[in-house]
Structure 1
């Protein structure tokens, strides 16, 4: 089972692949993604990734927002599977490569900030409220 931060990383990776299509970042992204899947057990991971990239480029070129959203979800799932199928050492390498991939696409890394908080103990139950780009978490009254 992957951590929330790895799931968020996979989601950002999926978004990065789709957002890169048709931009200057596409050449670098379309070279890196198949290399990431070369490690996958079984044959054909690299070829499948190339075919997926071609499909993504076609969908992006058609300006189909629903299709682009589906492509991002598909890539997210591919990255989740890649991270989940890996041992710890390979997972760390995949994480690093995925972060580098995301950094190639302007705006994706900035819009996918992830806060990792774990292992905390509170004397009151936290309450969380949020809407779109704002989140508020409170741990009891201020009095």
Structure 2
């Protein structure tokens, strides 16, 4: 059975996965998560983790209202199972790696990938619209 501190660490790991999605840290965080699950022998855990990471990224990109908290909870549960199934040495290693992933994601919190466009010329003025989370640009007519 996991201690409260371990459960809190697992929950923080779940939050870190969600925070990292869509940021520059996503590649490092998702690779680290897959590597953690790779150590589970013989049950396809790495493939399952990789598929779930891809699904998480898709859910979060869709900006579903409840998606972030649900994904954070699911990943927290996965990390809790990973920690509880490990032997003492494996648990210590997983704790260390999980803390590193949390640190990576925390550094990327609030940062999103940005597309910079410079020196473009258009016949019509662009129109920008969005809800603050997603923006679309329209150039020219709708024909």
CA RMSD of aligned residues (A): 1.6
Q: What is the alpha-carbon distance in structure 1 between the residues aligned to residue 42 and residue 76 of structure 2?
A: 20
What is the match of residue 37 of structure 2? 37
Q: Does 1:75 align with 2:114?
A: no
Contact 2:20 2:108 in 1 (8 A): no
Contact 1:12 1:108 in 2 (8 A): no
Instruction: Give secondary structure in 2 for the equivalent of 1:2.
Output: coil
Quote the offset at 1:108 in angstroms. Answer: 8.8
The corresponding residue for 1:19 is: 19
Greater relative contact order structure (CA < 8 Å, 6+ sep): 2
Structure 1 segments, 4+ long, off by >2 Å, are: 106-109
Matched with 1:57 is 57
Provide TM-score, normalisation by structure 2: 0.72
Unaligned stretches of 5+ in structure 2?
110-143
Distance in 2 (CA, whole Å) between partners of 1:108 and 1:66 is: 21
Contact 2:23 2:108 in 1 (8 A): no
Number of positions where the alignment pairs a residue of Structure 1 with one of Structure 2 = 109
The equivalent residue for 2:93 is 93
Q: Separation in 2 of the partners of 1:47 and 1:8? A: 26
In structure 2, C-alpha distance between the alignment counterparts of 1:108 and 1:23, rounded to whole Å? 6
Shift of 1:41: 3.8
Query: Cα offset for 1:65?
Result: 2.9
Mapped partners of 1:18, 1:76: distance in 2: 10
